[in-house]
Structure 1
Amino acid sequence: MKVSLEVKYKTPKGTETSFTSEEMKVEKALLIAEDLQKTGRVKEVIFVDQLQTTWTIKEIKKYVEEVETEPHNITVYFDGGFDHSSRKSGLGCAIYYEQNGKSFRMRKNAQVDDLDTNNEAEYAALYFGLQELELLGVHHLPVTFIGDSQVVVNQLNGEWPCMEETLNTWAERIERKIKELGITPEFTLVTRKKNQEADQLASQALKDIEITSTLEI
């Protein structure tokens, strides 16, 4: 989870001011807030998350303790590829997360043969990533999804209309799964070069190379 700090500060001579920090990971924000409190000059510190919900230091400490043993600070890279000659699709996802004070990267791919277009494969790859999150036990957390498909990212962000029935069905399926897991999604569009890891996983799936790995990084 990312938060910003809203701080009310008072100088030794009684001059008061308020300021708001940039967004940062909740663990970093907590360290800064506790350090500011040590000065004895902070009247109030409030944490504000991406949904504009406010938290006290006590509430944030409890949250950090609760999520420490579960996967959190999650980013999912996804990509789908479709081969017209074989009518097969390759799905790839790379999931980065933290758990018990350590950082991990999980890679997974799959080959499927019941899709008809590259756009459908891209949607299927995102759903594939959601299924992997469910297996990891991820729930009620913010998750960043990163892909190079303008169609998928812009449609799920509501910037482009979804006119094709098949793609609309995939979008609804994804939205249901996100709601079921209680995830707060952020969809980010990147270039294919910046999505190379997921792209390679999808390509390997099309070549019948199965990848399943989890690595501490």
Structure 2
Amino acid sequence: MNIRIELTYKTPKGTETIFSSDIMRAEKAILIAEDLEKNGRAKNLMFVDGHETTWSMKDLKKYMKGIETEPHNATVYFDGGFDLGTKRSGLGCVIYYEQNGKSFRLRKNALVGELNTNNEAEYAAFYLGLQELELLGVHHLPVTFIGDSQVVINQLLGEWPCVEDELNRWADRIEVKLEQLGITPEYNTVSRKKNREADQLATQALKEIEITSTMELGHEQ
């Protein structure tokens, strides 16, 4: 979960001002807040999440402890490719997540034949990532989705119009699944180079190379 710290700071002579930090991971915010509290000059310290909900130190620590054994801090990279010659699509997704104090990477791809455009393949790859999150048991948590498709990202953000019926249906399906899982999405667009893992998975799917793997980072499973 990404949050910011807000507090009132008081100097030894009694001058006060209000500070608001940059947005950061909750784990980092807790460490910084604990250090600030040591000098005794930070007052009214609270944490604010992306929904502008405020958390006390006690409540945030309790929440973080509660999700420790579940997959959390998930980031999904997705990519889809469409082969005009064969009318087939390759889908790829890579999910980074944490669980029980360890970090993992999940890779999954799929070959499908019922799509008609590259944009549909990109949406389908996004949905593949959602299905994998559901299988992992990720729910009622923020998740970051990263792809190189400006069409998908900007349409899901509502910044670009979605006039094609097929893409509208994909967007609706994604919104329904996000709501079912209680996932709060954050969207980021990157270059294809920075989306290399998901792009490679999509390409391998088109070559009928099936990939399904989970690795603890630093230790292959």
TM-score range, shorter chain: over 0.9
Query: Partner of 2:198 in structure 1?
Result: 198
Query: Partner of 1:51 in structure 2?
Result: 51
Distance 2:159 2:12 in 1: 50
What amino acid does structure 2 have at the position aligned with 1:131? Answer: Q
**Identity over aligned pairs, percent:** 71
Q: Quick check: 168-177 or 81-90, which moved more?
A: 81-90
> The residue matched to 2:173 in structure 1 has which SS?
helix
TM-fit CA distance, 1:14: 2.2
The number of residue pairs the alignment matches comes to 217
TM-fit CA distance, 1:34: 1.1
Measured against aligned partners, the alpha-carbon deviations of 1:120-148 in whole angstroms (never above 9, x if no partner) come to: 11100000000000000001111110111
What amino acid does structure 1 have at the position aligned with 2:126? Answer: L
TM-fit CA distance, 1:172: 0.2
Distance 2:20 2:63 in 1: 21
What amino acid does structure 1 have at the position aligned with 2:23? Answer: E
5+ unaligned residues in a row in structure 2: which ranges? Answer: none
Within the alignment, does 1:143 sit opposite 2:159 as a pair? no
Query: Partner of 2:62 in structure 1?
Result: 62
Measured against aligned partners, the alpha-carbon deviations of 1:87-146 in whole angstroms (never above 9, x if no partner) come to: 111100000111111111111101111111111111000000000000000011111101
Distance 1:28 1:151 in 2: 33
Distance 1:42 1:113 in 2: 59
Query: Partner of 1:117 in structure 2?
Result: 117
Distance 1:115 1:25 in 2: 38
Query: Partner of 2:211 in structure 1?
Result: 211
Query: Partner of 1:39 in structure 2?
Result: 39
Within the alignment, does 1:18 sit opposite 2:18 as a pair? yes
TM-fit CA distance, 1:47: 0.2
Distance 1:204 1:148 in 2: 18
Moved over 3 A (4+): none
Query: Partner of 2:91 in structure 1?
Result: 91
What amino acid does structure 2 have at the position aligned with 1:197? Answer: E
What amino acid does structure 2 have at the position aligned with 1:8? Answer: T
5+ unaligned residues in a row in structure 1: which ranges? Answer: none
What value does the CA root-mean-square deviation take over the aligned residues? 0.9
Distance 2:17 2:85 in 1: 66
TM-score normalized by the length of structure 2 = 0.96
TM-fit CA distance, 1:36: 1.2
Distance 2:65 2:186 in 1: 24
Distance 1:214 1:2 in 2: 25
